Amino acid sequence: MDLLNTLVDKGLRRELPTREEALAVLATSDDDLLDVVAAAGKVRRQWFGRRVKLNYLVNLKSGLCPEDCSYCSQRLGSKAEILKYTWLKPEEASKAAAAGVAGGAKRVCLVASGRGPTDRDVERVGRTIEAIKEENEGVEVCACLGLLSDGQAERLRSAGADAYNHNLNTSEGTYGDITTTHTYADRVDTVQKAHAAGLSACSGLIAGMGESDEDLVDVVFALRELDPDSVPVNFLIPFEGTPLAKEWNLTPQRALRILAMVRFVCPDVEVRLAGGREVHLRTLQPLALHLANSIFLGDYLTSEGQAGKADLEMIADAGFEVEGTDTTTLPEHRSDAASCGTGGGCGSGSVCSSEEPAPAATTEPVRGDQARTDLVAVRRRGAGTDLAPNA
């Protein structure tokens, strides 16, 4: 396909595809799926070889969130029967993190529910970071605490945080449909605060919430403009007891096309296969390793994931290798890339897009997958419990 040849050439040059090209990837047929995966795989291998970075989540504070994000089991008014607990002590969080590191995780992601941290919360997380790094030499720590106030990103950086995660989740045009207690602009502001403080920015999306192809392309292009180092691609886990419990819009094939589109738009960025992969990719998970160079190991915040041992076996069987702590994840040029203009980076490449903003999305959401509620399991082990974690 001429489209795929063009996208591979652009990806190897770190050049931004056009919106039409990105949309065309999502519109490819199932008959062309392996060709799409192979093409995006060439771009992935150019910048990341066959390495897979492992990340491990520790939920520091679960449930009881005042925000109303429709996709979230921890939201205000959620009836999902998840674990609910207040802040883990630093030594408890360190113990949980150690299980992930022992399983091969290179990065520990510390997450806490809520609108955003108080200054006291930042101090608490700082002590947790210190405890984790004392016990695990060379581990990276990413904090995910919600919206940041002025100065908090700098304090987290001083406390030893390496990165900060705050996802855009969906397009600006549809953001108000999934959340009303904060805005899309609030999220952008927090990612920019992390950047400005010298933290590695991590920001991604959630697919499968009923969005159109245009919405997906909008959010991925917006992420490219923000220039995060890591882009987690989550697939909605439709928890019973949340407003999106009936949204089963993804097939394994569509999930792969979404990952391929993200790789073409963000060729040299850490693309992370995140929540929901087991639910929606299912037996096609190994193919996703040809697109993403990073995954979460074991369980997620409130849901159970694939067994950590199975993750490691999948990586080995697919011909990939776990990335060690002695290896730098990102290509060398990323740290030296100059930003374009005054509104942040123009992505990971040296080419800035000058396209006019695209018109509002007009296509209907893609539907058609069968509900697999049997694959949605609430986490009952690990952080916040007396049971051993899955790592």
Per annotation, catalytic residue among 124, 142, 254, 346: 142
**Any idea what DSSP says for residue 87?**
P
CA angle, 145 then 151 then 154, to 5°: 75
The reply to whether 202 belongs to the active site is yes
Active site residue 109: yes
Looking at the DSSP assignment, which residues form a beta bridge with residue 272?
A: 232, 294
* Distance in angstroms (rounded) separating the CA atoms of residues 184 and 144: 17
Contacts with 332 (C-beta within 8 Å, 6 or more apart), sequence order: none
Question: Looking at beta carbons, which pairs linking 243-246 to residues 24 or more positions away fall under 8 Å?
Answer: 243/70, 244/70, 244/71, 244/178, 244/209, 244/210, 246/371
Residue pair 268/45 in contact (Cβ under 8 Å)? The answer is no
205-210-214-217 Cα dihedral, nearest 10 degrees: 20
Rounded to an integer, what is the distance from CA 107 to the centroid of its chain? 13
Catalytic one of 44, 75, 109, 124: 109
Is 144 a known active-site residue?
no
Catalytic residue chosen out of the listed positions 144, 202, 266, 346: 202
Does the annotation mark 352 as catalytic?
no
Q: Which of 69, 144, 266, 346 is catalytic?
A: 69
In the DSSP assignment, the letter for residue 65 is -
Residue pair 71/314 in contact (Cβ under 8 Å)? The answer is no
Length of the chain: 391
Among candidate residues 14, 44, 72, 257, the one labeled active-site is 72
d(Cα 74, Cα 32) in Å, to the nearest integer? Answer: 38
Buried b (16+ CB within 10 A) or exposed e, 201-219: bbbbbbbbbbbbbbbbbbb
- 3-state SS, residue 107: strand
Long-range CB pairs of 140-143 (<8 Å, 24+ gap) are 140/106, 140/107, 140/108, 141/107, 141/108, 141/109, 141/110, 142/55, 142/107, 142/108, 142/109, 142/110, 142/200, 142/202, 143/109, 143/110
Structure tokens at 301: 């915040």
Pair of tokens at residue 115:
């609108």
List the catalytic residue out of 44, 157, 272, 277.
Answer: 272
Q: Tell me the catalytic residues.
A: 65, 69, 72, 109, 142, 202, 272
